[in-house]
Chain A
Amino acid sequence: MQHPVLEIDRITKRFGPLVANDAISLSLARGEILGLLGENGAGKTTLMNILFGHYVADEGEIRVDGKVLPPGEPRAALAAGIGMVHQHFTLADNLTVIDNIVLGTESLWRWKSNLSSARARIRQLAEDYGLAVAPDAQVSSLSVGERQRVEILKALYRNARILILDEPTAVLTPQESAALFETLKRFVAKGLSIIFISHKLGEIMDACSRVAILRGGKLVAERKVSDVTRAELAELMVGRPIPKPKAEPQSPGNMVLSLEKASARRGSQALHNISLEVLGGEVIGIAGVSGNGQSLLADCISGTWALSAGSLVVDGQTSRASPRAMVEQGVARIPEDRHTEGMIGDMSITENAVAERYRSSAFSSRGLVDWRKARVFAESIISKYDVKCPGPEARVRLLSGGNMQKLILGRVMAHDPKLILANQPTRGLDVGAVAYVHEQLLAARKRGAGILLISEDLDELLALSDKVAVMFKGELSAPMQRQTVTISSLGLLMAGQGFSHAA
C-alpha cells in the first residue's frame, strides 16, 4: 500500500458522558474513495468535524502526509489540503457564488479583491471537473445540486487534495446523485482522495472502493466494497439483522378520519376537492412528487391551516383549525420537518416531550406544570424508545435525526392516538431508525390506530400501506388497494396522468 495521505490516529471525543468517538483510527490513500458508513449518531460527523478543526479531540492526533495537524483550526486543515462539503451547506445565500468561493482565500489586508482572475479560475475548475455553475449568480437563486457544486468548488479552489463529503446525497435527486458519483470518479482519477460519509448502503457500494463502518462511536469494521454484500454492511452498521416490515392483514375498525370535498389554498399550494377516508387499523399511503400539496394536506389535518371549503371529521367530531384541538381529538402528528415543526432545538427533552400536552391534567394542575411528572414521562420515552441522549435535561438540538424522531414517536404514541399523521416519517433517517419507525407504525396499526402515511419513498409506501393514493397539483386520486398497484403505475399517476387538471 502507498503511503497514506491522511491518518486518523486513535481519536477520542466525549460530549459530557457521551463518547462520540472512541479511539478511532483510519487511513486514506491517494486516489481512493473511502466510505464512512454508520447510523445517525454513530459519530461520523463528529469525527469529520474534528478532522476539519471545528471540534478539538480529547485524545489522539491527525496526520496529513505524515505531518501532525494542529487541532481546532479550520485554517490549518484548509492549508493542509482538506476540503469539507458539509451536509448542511455553509454558503451565504445573499452573496454570489464567486464571493462564497473566494472568501478567506485572499489576505484580509488587501485593498482590492482580484475577482476577475478568481472568476477565470473558477470557470477553469468547473470545466476540468465537470461542475457547471455561474460564478456571478446569487447562491439563493441556485438549486440544491448547484449549491453542492459550489461547496465542492470552494474546496477545489483552495487546492484541496482530500475531500470530505458529509451525506452529500441527502438533498439530491437520484439523477443528481448519479452525476455526483461520476464527478467523484473524475476527482480520484486526478489524484484526489475522498471520504464519503453516508448511511445509505447503495451509495457506498456504488461510489466507494473501501468502507469503514462506525457504530456507537467505535470503528467496528473496515472492508473492501468488492468483498461485502449490502446485507452484511447493514448488519455491521446496525449491529443486528434488519427485519423487513410486514403488515399483517387485519379487518379495519371505525372511521377515524374523513375528509369530504376539502379545499384549501396557501400561496401557490392548493387542495382541490379532496375526499379521503381512513379507518382504524388501516394505513393509507399518499404518494406524490414533493410540492403537490402534501404539506398543505398535512397541515390542514394537523390544524395549523384551515380548509376553505369541505369538511374534516376526526373520530366522529367535526374539526376546527386548531392544533391543540386536533391533539385533543387524538391526532398524533409526526411532522415533515423535525427541526422546525417537530421539536424546539434549544429546549430540553423534557420540555419537548410535554410540548403538545403540557396543559392536560397529566402534566399540570391548577395552571402549574408538574415538572416531576413531565420528567418521568420524558424518562419513560427515553428508555422505551431507546433515545440516545445524555439525559432528559439535554437540549434536543444535540440529538441526531433518528433520536429526535424516536422522541417524537414517543411523545405522540404515549396517548394511544386514534389517527397518526406521519408526514415523511423516515426522511433522512438511517436503516436502523427507519426499521424502528416502521415497526412502531405497524404496532400502532395493530392496536387499531388509523395511519395516514405521506411519503416520497415508494418502497416505504408499498411496504406499509393497505391502500395508496397519489397527489398531483392539489388533487388526490382514488385510493387503490396495495396489491393492485406497482411502482410504475404509481409513477404515471405521480406524473399527472389520469388527473382532471393534468398539465
Chain B
Amino acid sequence: MEAFEILFTASLWAAAVRIASPLIFGTLGELICERAGVLNLGIEGIMTAGAFSGWLAVYLGGDLWLGVAVAALVGACLGLLHGFMVVPLGLSQHVTGIGITLLATALSYYFYRIAFPEVTSPPKIEPFAVFPVPGLADLPIIGPALFQQTPLTYLAFIAVALVAWFLYRTPAGLAVRTVGENPAAAEAQGINVVTVRILAVMAGSALMGIGGSFITLSAFNSFFFEMTNGRGWICIALVVFAAWQPGKALLGAILFGLFDAYQLRLQQLAGSVVPYQVFLMLPFVLSVVALIVMSRRVAYPRALMVPYRKGER
C-alpha cells in the first residue's frame, strides 16, 4: 500500500521532472537531427562534453549561463563534425556517431585530467538554484513538480515549445522536415539539402550539449566520470517513443523520469526484500514496453540514415 502512496507525494513528481530535464534537451536535439534525416549516435558523448565544458567554464569563473552557452557551442562544434562526415561525405551514420561519442567522452576525461591532475574529491561549483515561480509554486503537487525547479528546467519546457513552433510553423522547419522525408523533393524546390542537414545537426547537437550541462550545472555541482550514464541512449529511444514529435518527447522524458524517481523510492521501501538491481532495471523495462506500445504505427522520417547524393536516381 505504501508503494502506491508514494505516487501522491510532491517530491516524487518534482524528482521526475528534474530527472527528465536533461532528457528533454537531449531528445529534442536528437529529434531535430533525425527529422533532417541524420541519426546522431554522438549524443552520449556530446552530452558528456556539454556536461564537462559547461561545468569547466563556470569553475573557471564564468557565469552559469555562460556555462550553458559554452556547452551549446561545444555541442554544435561536435555536431558540425558529425554533419560534415555523414552529410557531404555520406559516411555511415552509425559508425560516425559512435566514433563521435567515443571521441567526445575521451576528450572530456582527458581535459579533466589535464586540468585537475591531482584531486581526490571532485572540485565543486555553485549550481543553479531552485527558482520558485511566484504564485504557481504553491499549488499542490503541480507546484513542486513544475514550478519549483531550476531555470534550466524551465528552459527545457520553453525549448519544447520553440522546437515545435520551429518544426511546424516556420519555413526553415518545413525545410528540415522535407530533407528528412524526401531530399530530392527539397532539392527540386531549390533547397540546399547539405546546408539544411548540417545546420539541423548542429542545432540538435547544441541542445544535446545543453542537456549535458544540466547534469553538472543543475542536478549536481561537479563533474565526474561516467556521469552521463546512458542518458544519451535513453534519448535515442525516447525519440522513437515520441514518434518524432516534440510534445510527445516531453511526455516521454517525464514518464521516464517518473519511473526512475519511483524506483529510487521503491528501493528504499523494499530494498531489504528485493535486490535493488530489480528496481534499477524498472525504468528501462518500462521504457521498452512503452516503446513497443507507442511506436507500432509510427511514421518515421523516410530519409532517415539515407545519405543524399545530388543528381542520383
Contact = CB atoms under 8 A, between A and B. Distances in A.
B169 interface: yes
A154 interface: yes
Contact of B190 (A99, A104, A110, A398): A104
Given A104-B175, A111-B170, A113-B170, A86 B188 contact: yes
A95 to B, nearest CB: 6
Nearest to B185: A90
Residue of A90, A99, A103, A397 contacting most chain B CB atoms (<10 Å) = A103
A88 B188 CA distance: 12
State the main secondary structure of chain A at its contact with B.
loop
Nearest to A76: B190
B177 interface: yes
Given A94-B299, A107-B171, A112-B169, A397 B313 contact: yes
Nearest to B168: A113
A90 B184 contact: yes
A166 to B, nearest CB: 12
A335 B310 CA distance: 29
A92 B178 contact: yes
A112 B170 contact: yes
A74 B171 contact: no
Interface string B149-175: 000000000000000000001111011
A99 B178 contact: yes
Contacts of B190: 74-75, 78-79, 104
Interface of B: 169-172, 174-175, 177-178, 181-182, 184-191, 299, 301-302, 310-313
5 contacts: A92-B186, A93-B182, A95-B178, A105-B189, A113-B174
A49 B311 CA distance: 8
A103 B186 contact: yes
Given A54-B310, A99-B178, A113-B174, A84 B188 contact: yes
Contacts of B313: 88, 397-398
B181 A93 contact: yes
B169 A113 contact: yes
Given A93-B302, A113-B169, A108 B175 contact: yes
Nearest to A339: B313
A49 B188 CA distance: 10
Lowest 8 A-B CB distances belong to which pairs?
A104-B189, A75-B190, A92-B181, A106-B171, A90-B185, A92-B182, A90-B188, A108-B172
A181 interface: no
A52 B301 CA distance: 27
Contacts of A363: none
Given A94-B302, A103-B171, A113-B174, 15 more contacts: A49-B311, A54-B310, A55-B311, A74-B190, A79-B190, A86-B188, A93-B302, A94-B299, A103-B174, A103-B189, A103-B191, A104-B190, A105-B189, A107-B171, A113-B170
Interface string A62-99: 00000000000011001100001010101111110001
Residue of A55, A79, A104 contacting most chain B CB atoms (<10 Å) = A104
Nearest to B179: A92
Residue of A100, A108, A113, A397 contacting most chain B CB atoms (<10 Å) = A108
A259 interface: no
Given A55-B311, A111-B170, A397-B313, A103 B175 contact: yes
A297 to B, nearest CB: 30
Contacts of A94: 181, 299, 301-302
Nearest to B300: A94
Nearest to B191: A104
A95 B189 CA distance: 15
A309 interface: no
Nearest to B171: A106
Given A55-B311, A91-B182, A95-B178, A109 B189 contact: no
